[in-house]
A and B are shown apart, each in its own frame.
Chain A
Amino acid sequence: QDAYPYTDRNCRTDVPYPPNDPKVSTFVLNLDLNPKDRWAPLMKNKTNELKAMIGDIINLVGAFFKNKTKIVNDLDTLLGPLVYTLPQPYQDEMIGISDASGVPLGQIVLYNIFYEVFTV
């Protein structure tokens, strides 16, 4: 970052607060609901964005292998059952997210353990 012009020469002081950057919306997660149903209302509006993002991850993983379709199937086969070893309520929440979005369970699991995979 020492190379011009990637680092601001002076610390910024001109950004107003609240800023003009897009503000994020809020979703109420009702913990009194069954974990499988908690995220369903949010998934209704965001399924396309979620599918696009997971599609990117699959493409990236697939790029390392000849047969992408096989890798996708293998991921679902390997990671899908892993959900049943995960602690509650996360296990049921992931199953609910998969049901509500139509994204295969193995792919939802991959997304949720991505930090553990990525730190290496």
Chain B
Amino acid sequence: CTSIVAETPNGTLYHSRNLDFGLFLGWDVKNKKWELTERLRPLVVNVDYQKGGKTVAKAVHFVGYVGVLTGIKPGVITMTMNERYNIDGGFVGIFEWILGQRSEQWMGFFMRDTLVEATDYASTKTKVINAKIMSPGYIILGGNKSGEGAIIVTDREKPAYVEELDPKKGKWFVLQTNYDPVDKPPFFDDRRTSGVRCMTNTTQKAVGFGPLYNVLSTKPNLNLLTAYTAMMQVDTGYLDTFIRECPQPCYPW
């Protein structure tokens, strides 16, 4: 996955993401595609959560999956979650849950609860930082004011690590793939360098949906695992999602 929160010079916040999923889950030799990713694409749907006929949140779902991986609460926050691989992953948490230790939260459900109940960026950030989530992950948050954007690295054992926007010091975007921000990504899966290079080339002045979509259309940020690209703008409540195909030759991840 690649998630980006970016801020324009006048403080407008955009949040975009590529969702990549299906690694090693069946390879279609003939068509050179991941089987599960192919199966997931037709299941992508935008969901408008309504109470009393009014929108309370919007999210991108795979049909049948009730948790949230990408969502927006109009005027309040935007959220995405990127996968974090770890041997002490959710598998351990599932066993603990089955054995009756149920103090931790399931990632997708936590994301949805947090999104729907959000009242502002600061309290949502605190909630995410202090959450006990069953599996590790990268939760990327965007708010509705200048400087409100963060990557929060959650871990089952260690305290969360936070990296934030700081537009006054020139940090006008944060970009997260599937590796810890403090570590160098592995040479065989370095989507960070490409993404950061393209965002830097874009320049803050030019940031908007078009340039962000182009960054997320550049290989390897666009790859054979990419199921969809979602585009969000918190102040207008805009959420649009597009199904992606990576034309060959394309890297498998």
Contact = CB atoms under 8 A, between A and B. Distances in A.
Nearest to B88: A120
Given A52-B39, A60-B26, A24 B90 contact: no
Interface SS majority for chain B? mixed
A118 B39 contact: no
A17 B210 contact: yes
Nearest to B92: A120
B60 A24 contact: yes
B25 A17 contact: no
Interface string B155-196: 000000000000000000000000000000001111100100
A24 B242 contact: yes
A112 B66 contact: yes
A53 B36 contact: yes
Interface size range of chain A in the complex = 35 or more
B6 interface: no
Contacts of A5: 249
Contact of B218 (A11, A42, A60, A82): A11
Nearest to B111: A115
Contacts of A86: 106, 109
A56 B28 CA distance: 12
Given A13-B214, A97-B64, A115 B244 contact: no
Contact of B135 (A21, A31, A103, A116): A116
Nearest to A52: B39
Contacts of A53: 36, 39-40, 43
B46 A93 contact: no
A119 B42 CA distance: 23
Contacts of A32: 50-52
B45 A85 contact: no
Interface of B: 25-26, 35-36, 39-40, 42-52, 56, 60, 63-67, 69, 83-87, 89-91, 93-94, 97-98, 102, 106-109, 134-137, 187-191, 194, 197-198, 201-202, 208-211, 213-215, 217-220, 228-229, 240-245, 249-251
The 10 closest A-B pairs by CB, nearest first: A116-B90, A119-B89, A11-B198, A17-B210, A6-B251, A53-B39, A24-B241, A21-B242, A120-B89, A1-B220
14 contacts: A6-B250, A11-B202, A14-B214, A19-B242, A29-B47, A49-B42, A50-B43, A53-B39, A86-B106, A87-B106, A117-B91, A117-B94, A119-B90, A119-B136
Given A50-B63, A85-B97, 15 more contacts: A5-B249, A15-B214, A21-B242, A26-B48, A39-B66, A46-B63, A49-B42, A52-B39, A82-B97, A101-B64, A113-B94, A116-B91, A117-B94, A119-B89, A120-B89
